[in-house]
Structure 1
Amino acid sequence: MSILSSRDSAILTSLFTSEPPAPALPTPPPAPPAGLPNVSPSLLQKIQIAESGALRPLNTAAPPPSTISTAIDALSELIKTYPTYPSAYNNRAQAKRLLYGSDLCVKEAEESGLMEDLAEAIRLCTPTTTSHQADILAKAYTQRGAVLLLTSTTMRTLETSGGVTHVLGGKGAEEVEEMARADFREGKRWGSEVAGEMDVKMNPVRKLCGEIVREAMVRDLRESGVLPAED
């Protein structure tokens, strides 16, 4: 016997039969060339060596704040010299997340400029004509989605307790969560497996179906005596 009630079954059937398919996203160009537009391979290699040197001290389990700050300063110098190099912005945002956290409800994180760095990395890779740009887009969108999702979780907690947040232009938790999902979808489109997994987990239909099945299982366990009856 199904543990779903007729009402639950009807809801699930309705969801799967009437839910419109997600709008198709344009696909990235097939097999794009490597490198960056208007940057010679030799110059790109030079920039990447400098970038790797700035990031190398961070390749430990828990780099101290002073080491992270030094890496941020080195990336900032690289950006001053090569302001159109998108990867440095993406990596500086990552370093800022290590130092200040990813919750924009925390003042230090909000004022760190990490969101501006991610926006600039994305801007510099659009339109996308190379595989290197696509890789940066995948990372930047996934990073931004993670920041927005964590921030929306804190915002939702504050809203429940009557608190007020003033980040992201005064947007509400639900809107910020939807922004996170949109970024995960973009990250997925450009090749991020993590973003693809997060997009699936955040699917509202999937979450609703999971909740219906979970409630039905609890009812079944109560009726069978495995769980105590509700008071």
Structure 2
Amino acid sequence: MATANDRAVLQTIFNPSTPFGDIPGLDDEEENAQEEVEAFPPELLEQVRDLELQGVSAAESGDLNTALQRFGEAIHLLPERASGYNNRAQALRLRGDVAGALRDLDTAIRLSRGRGQAACQSLVQRGLIHRLQEREEEARQDFERAARLGSTFARRQLVLLNPYAALCNQMLCEMLGRLRNPDGSGSE
């Protein structure tokens, strides 16, 4: 089983724009793990987690086909577990299959009932896709839900989506620029 630091590194690799260590629900890890053990047979759960780790390792090395195969095997063994869909969505997105990624993210959010680490990661990932597709309101909704689940990255995205915050940031940058260069000559 991976350590918290291992998961933080993997999160950073899969989502480079996520702040290091922003793993939603990490403090509730034992509770989430207990819920999974109660919901799924332990030996099958261990096998699925191992397949997911193999998939992550394959994705890290750039072998998205093997990663997708491992995530698919994990989903086949436990089709009601949200994590496999979230992981496969990341690999699909890296491969350029945004529609497939969105389908898997929707499934992960539904299976997780909008709770826990898999839901939070899926909401953040879906919110980022919505932003790339210039669907700001849908992105805002996903980031709000992820923020309520503990994602600091989602909270930062909400600030960026706020037009008043953007305007304040712009004015602050202009003011700092004038303070650094009061004569307006462009050189310091």
Bin the TM-score by the shorter chain.
0.5 to 0.7
For each residue in 1:99-152, what CA deviation from the matched residue of structure 2 results, as whole angstroms up to 9, or x when unmatched?
22xxxxxxxx234x10010001101122x6xxxx41111111111112222x23
Q: Which amino acid in the other structure matches residue 110 of structure 1?
A: V
For each residue in 1:38-92, what CA deviation from the matched residue of structure 2 results, as whole angstroms up to 9, or x when unmatched?
x63661452243233343353378523xx22122122223323322111111111
Find the counterpart in structure 2 of residue 20 from structure 1. Answer: none
Q: Which of residues 106, 119, 122 is equivalent to 1:119?
A: 106
Q: Which of residues 50, 53, 59 is equivalent to 2:51?
A: 53
Q: State the distance in 2 between where 1:60 and 1:77 align.
A: 14
Q: State the distance in 2 between where 1:95 and 1:205 align.
A: 35
Bigger Rg over Cα: 1
Q: Which amino acid in the other structure matches residue 122 of structure 2?
A: A
Q: State the distance in 2 between where 1:185 and 1:45 align.
A: 35
Find the counterpart in structure 1 of residue 184 from structure 2. Answer: 226
Q: 1:88 to 1:57 in 2, by over 3 A?
A: closer
Find the counterpart in structure 1 of residue 130 from structure 2. Answer: 148
Q: State the distance in 2 between where 1:139 and 1:94 align.
A: 10
Find the counterpart in structure 2 of residue 136 from structure 1. Answer: 118
Instruction: Give the helix-richer structure, 1 or 2.
Output: 2
Q: 1:125 to 1:62 in 2, by over 3 A?
A: closer
Conservation of the 8 A alpha-carbon contact between 2:86 and 2:118: yes
Correspondence 1:28-107 to 2 at 5 A:
33-34=31-32, 35-36=34-35, 40=38, 43-44=41-42, 46-56=44-54, 58-59=56-57, 62-64=60-62, 67-100=63-96
Conservation of the 8 A alpha-carbon contact between 1:57 and 1:63: no
Q: How many residues align?
A: 157
Q: Percent identity?
A: 29
**Structure 1 position 181, deviation (Å):** 2.1
TM-score, length basis structure 2? 0.67
For each residue in 1:158-178, what CA deviation from the matched residue of structure 2 results, as whole angstroms up to 9, or x when unmatched?
xxxxxxxxxxxxxxx3xx022
Find the counterpart in structure 1 of residue 136 from structure 2. Answer: 177
Q: State the distance in 1 between where 2:153 and 2:164 align.
A: 20
Q: CA RMSD in A?
A: 3.0
Q: Which amino acid in the other structure matches residue 142 of structure 1?
A: V
Which ranges of structure 1 fall in alignment gaps of 5 or more residues? 1-30, 101-108, 153-172
**Structure 1 position 189, deviation (Å):** 0.7
Q: State the distance in 1 between where 2:77 and 2:56 align.
A: 22
Ranked by relative contact order (alpha carbons within 8 Å, sequence separation 6 or more), the top structure is 1
Runs (4 or more) in structure 1 with deviation over 4 Å come to 215-222
Q: State the distance in 2 between where 1:60 and 1:193 align.
A: 28
Find the counterpart in structure 2 of residue 202 from structure 1. Answer: 161
Q: 1:221 to 1:196 in 2, by over 3 A?
A: closer
